[in-house]
Structure 1
Amino acid sequence: MIAQQYKKMLEGKSVIREMAEFAAERGKVIGYENIFDYSLGNPSVPVPKEFTQVMMNLLSSKNPKELHGYSPSLGIPSVREKIAQSLNRRFDMNYTKNHIFMTTGAAGAIAHAIRCVTEPGDEVLTFAPYFPEYHPYIDLTGAVLKVVPANTEDFQINFTLFDEMLTEKVAAVLINTPNNPSGVVYSTETIKKLADFLSKKEKEYGHEIFIISDEPYREIVFEGADAPYVSKFYHNSLSCYSYSKSLSVPGERIGYVAVNPDSVDSDLIVSMCGQISRGIGHNCPPSIIQLAVSEVVDLTADMSVYETNMNLIYQKLIDLGFTCVKPGGTFYIFPKALEEDAKIFCQKALNYDLILVPGDSFGCPGYFRMAYCIDTEKVERSLPALEQFVRTEYGNSENKLNR
């Protein structure tokens, strides 16, 4: 008999992928350039020229075995050391290479981090809105993901409901800042309050509660946003990072777990990750990509277009009467739909070749996500379509279309 658990998962296809597939098929009919596809969070800015040059230099100067052979199970030591030094420079930490474990992107980082600090039956809390893939990431480990309902006023943490849900069964809290899908950045005040709260609960319950900080959008922060480095504020913390967004290399699948040196058993966790890899197959990320990112460890792609796009879309949404928290980073925005059922709202938008993603799977029914990692020219062309959609479908509703 085949595995029933995974068979059942086939019934729950990602709505994000469904919308992207619709956009691709519709594009074959009218040309994809005429589809305003806000479905997938696929970085749209070019890879830094320095990264391309590093790759060329490596291929022309290094021994092929070094570039294409297996890396050590924990990652290449020189790469881990450079990442530790970078984090120390930028965030005033005290990492060494022994606190860095190389992974296949942030997903691989979370896969290891969860297994390091939970046992089957433990609970992991996260906060809506949240990335839907957190459910398979956590639930398939034997731990149980539970979601704290959203604070829709500003999408910071709802501490009242968090307090109600944080029981002795909770072994870890999974946070994502800057956040997919809201684009909101947890403020220093929020992170300090979370750290103080968990420190008190650790003493009360007599066991550690880890923060697992999912940080693939850490470098996409807009002007004026307060974006603290989470591990700076809490001892039992694991930072899960990916270069997919910062360098625009999602297909290269490279990231890391950074173990806070002040955490419990910090000298063991990276080695434990190596053992976890034996069981889940997330082992030995590509050697050449490890070496390449280590040469550009403090660089990012030019991501200014994301802030430009955000401002264009946010202003149009506000002008059209939407309720929307202004993003502080990422390339997502998460407005409230103009009717109760966001799925119906997004279905109606398809008639205007607007591909939007309903917020139900993100834990926020009634909201929708727009991934604006597309060319600014296309964003600008989409705005009249958005206005036509709203005025045609909702012009006589109670929503005020001008403020």
Structure 2
Amino acid sequence: MIAPKIKEIINSKGASVIRKMFEEGILLKKEYGDDNVFDFSLGNPDLDPPKEVVDAILEVAKDTTHGCHGYMPNAGYPEARLAMAEKVSGEQTVKLEEKNIVMTVGAASALNCVFKSILSSGDEVIVPAPFFAEYRHYVANFGGKLVEVPTKADFSLDVQAIEKMLSLKTAAVLINTPNNPTGKIYSESDIEELAAALKKHGNSCGRMPYLICDEPYRAIVYDGAKVPPVFPKYENAVVVSSFAKDLSIPGERIGYIAVNPKCEDSDEFISACTFCLRTLGCVNAPAFFQKVVAKSWNAKVDYSSYARRRDLLMAILDKAGFEYCRPQGAFYLFVKVPSRWNDDDSAFCDYLKKFFILSAPGNGFGKKGYFRLAYCVSEKTIVNSEKAFIAAAK
């Protein structure tokens, strides 16, 4: 018998709406042709992995030394952990070592390991809304509660609103920048203000919340924007990330946890995450791709085609009369549902399907009245969608 809670989730209207839309798109394309279906549902990067990654794959595949496919320490190969320490040191402007890294099965595995490590039943994780829909499940997996705090109108952090929700139950604040679904980069001043609020709260109540930074889109930024480092601003900070989006290898499931060396319980945190990686059934990150990313993590990638596609789609939405905030990074547009729909984003997304436009309703991301378009699709799809968007807007 299926557990009642899981049965409730999988049978709910909002369950896996993005995946359902993606699978529906496959069927529609078979029936009506690829050129006539405009699938913006899934954030599946369509750039090919860079040459450095392909070369590393070929090099690792040729390795036939004894034991090359065997177990390694649960936290990962030393060379992979050292490579990630170098990567995060450059991003965070704080020196990390091998011991500050755990290799994981993508960023999803990283987040689940972190939450299993820090959450007791009834603990809370605060998240600015909108946010990646799976966060709800990741936190609930370990008896926690996700506390959704709306961002400001431009999707920047509302630190005062977050501060009001801090309590003795607050185990962590979770931020995702550049943000999925808005493409917003939280500014350095926002990070500083948030760090100050968390320190004030922790010093007053004796429980210093962790600041968890989910950063799989860190490298995909536009118009000269940069993602500010968090480690210099807040000691109890943790970065989780993967190479799914920036190196276009989402199916390979390779990621990591990086703990600020100045975190008050840094060594214990790493030990806990390593243990949880085992007990969650992952055991270790994939051996093959640990070796691949250790050799190719710093590959140079040209993301200008994403910027071009963003601009193409924005021009179409402008012509059709839709409202949105200009994305600073990632590859999503978060678009306002027309006012006559009374913020019913699910109904509007169903309506868009009549024009063969597939999108994701905003309520799944914690923001009613919006819908998400993933523009990591071909330029042809975007250009061909113009008439459909204009017709839908009418």
- Relative to the length of structure 2, the TM-score reads 0.95
Q: CA deviation at 1:123?
A: 0.7
Query: Contact between 2:155 and 2:182, CA under 8 Å: does it hold in 1?
Result: yes
Equivalent in the alignment of 2:255: 255
CA distances 1:282-341 after superposition (whole Å, capped 9, x unpaired): 221111100110101212543221111111112322333222110000010101011221
Equivalent in the alignment of 2:82: 81
Equivalent in the alignment of 1:229: 229
Indicate how the Cα distance of structure 1 residues 300 and 249 shifts in structure 2: closer, same or farther if over 3 A, else same.
Answer: farther
Q: CA deviation at 1:90?
A: 4.0
Indicate how the Cα distance of structure 1 residues 159 and 16 shifts in structure 2: closer, same or farther if over 3 A, else same.
Answer: same
Letter in 1 for 2:336: K
Query: Contact between 1:70 and 1:286, CA under 8 Å: does it hold in 2?
Result: no
User: In the alignment, is residue 353 of structure 1 matched against residue 356 of structure 2?
Assistant: yes
Query: Contact between 2:312 and 2:383, CA under 8 Å: does it hold in 1?
Result: yes
Query: Contact between 2:74 and 2:278, CA under 8 Å: does it hold in 1?
Result: no
Q: CA deviation at 1:161?
A: 2.2
User: In the alignment, is residue 36 of structure 1 matched against residue 38 of structure 2?
Assistant: yes
Q: CA deviation at 1:112?
A: 1.1
In 1, the alpha carbon distance for the partners of 2:150 and 2:237 equals: 23
Equivalent in the alignment of 2:71: 70
Structure 1 runs (4+) deviating above 3 angstroms are none
Q: CA deviation at 1:165?
A: 1.3
Letter in 1 for 2:370: Y
Question: RMSD of the alignment, in Å?
Answer: 1.5
Equivalent in the alignment of 1:368: 371
In 1, the alpha carbon distance for the partners of 2:87 and 2:145 equals: 34
In 1, the alpha carbon distance for the partners of 2:226 and 2:244 equals: 22
Query: Contact between 2:36 and 2:356, CA under 8 Å: does it hold in 1?
Result: yes
Equivalent in the alignment of 1:160: 160
Structure 1 residue ranges without an equivalent (≥5): 392-403
Letter in 1 for 2:40: Y
In 1, the alpha carbon distance for the partners of 2:237 and 2:286 equals: 26
User: In the alignment, is residue 240 of structure 1 matched against residue 240 of structure 2?
Assistant: yes
Name the SS of the counterpart of 1:232 in structure 2.
Answer: coil
Equivalent in the alignment of 2:58: 56
In 1, the alpha carbon distance for the partners of 2:91 and 2:133 equals: 30
User: In the alignment, is residue 100 of structure 1 matched against residue 101 of structure 2?
Assistant: yes
Equivalent in the alignment of 1:46: 48
Equivalent in the alignment of 2:180: 180
Name the SS of the counterpart of 1:148 in structure 2.
Answer: strand
In 1, the alpha carbon distance for the partners of 2:371 and 2:185 equals: 18
Structure 2 residue ranges without an equivalent (≥5): none
Letter in 2 for 1:355: L
Equivalent in the alignment of 1:380: 383
Q: CA deviation at 1:72?
A: 1.5
Name the SS of the counterpart of 1:335 in structure 2.
Answer: strand
Name the SS of the counterpart of 1:239 in structure 2.
Answer: strand
CA distances 1:100-156 after superposition (whole Å, capped 9, x unpaired): 0000000011011112222221111101101111111001101111111232x2101
Indicate how the Cα distance of structure 1 residues 309 and 64 shifts in structure 2: closer, same or farther if over 3 A, else same.
Answer: farther
Aligned positions of 1:105-124 closer than 5 A: 105-124=106-125
In 2, the alpha carbon distance for the partners of 1:256 and 1:114 equals: 14
CA distances 1:58-106 after superposition (whole Å, capped 9, x unpaired): 222442621x222220100111012112222343211100000000000
In 2, the alpha carbon distance for the partners of 1:281 and 1:17 equals: 24
Letter in 2 for 1:24: I
Aligned residues: 389
Aligned positions of 1:303-318 closer than 5 A: 303-318=303-318
Query: Contact between 2:159 and 2:190, CA under 8 Å: does it hold in 1?
Result: no
Query: Contact between 2:35 and 2:384, CA under 8 Å: does it hold in 1?
Result: no
Indicate how the Cα distance of structure 1 residues 242 and 300 shifts in structure 2: closer, same or farther if over 3 A, else same.
Answer: farther
Equivalent in the alignment of 1:193: 193
In 1, the alpha carbon distance for the partners of 2:109 and 2:74 equals: 13
Q: CA deviation at 1:22?
A: 1.7
- Relative to the length of structure 1, the TM-score reads 0.93
Identity %: 37
Equivalent in the alignment of 2:213: 213
Letter in 2 for 1:352: F
Name the SS of the counterpart of 1:314 in structure 2.
Answer: helix
Higher mean displacement: 205-214 or 268-277: 268-277
Q: CA deviation at 1:243?
A: 0.5
Equivalent in the alignment of 1:203: 203
Query: Contact between 2:133 and 2:364, CA under 8 Å: does it hold in 1?
Result: yes
Name the SS of the counterpart of 1:231 in structure 2.
Answer: coil
In 1, the alpha carbon distance for the partners of 2:160 and 2:94 equals: 31
CA distances 1:146-199 after superposition (whole Å, capped 9, x unpaired): 111232x21011223222211221110011111111111111111111111111
Query: Contact between 2:92 and 2:230, CA under 8 Å: does it hold in 1?
Result: no
Letter in 1 for 2:305: V
Query: Contact between 2:92 and 2:231, CA under 8 Å: does it hold in 1?
Result: no
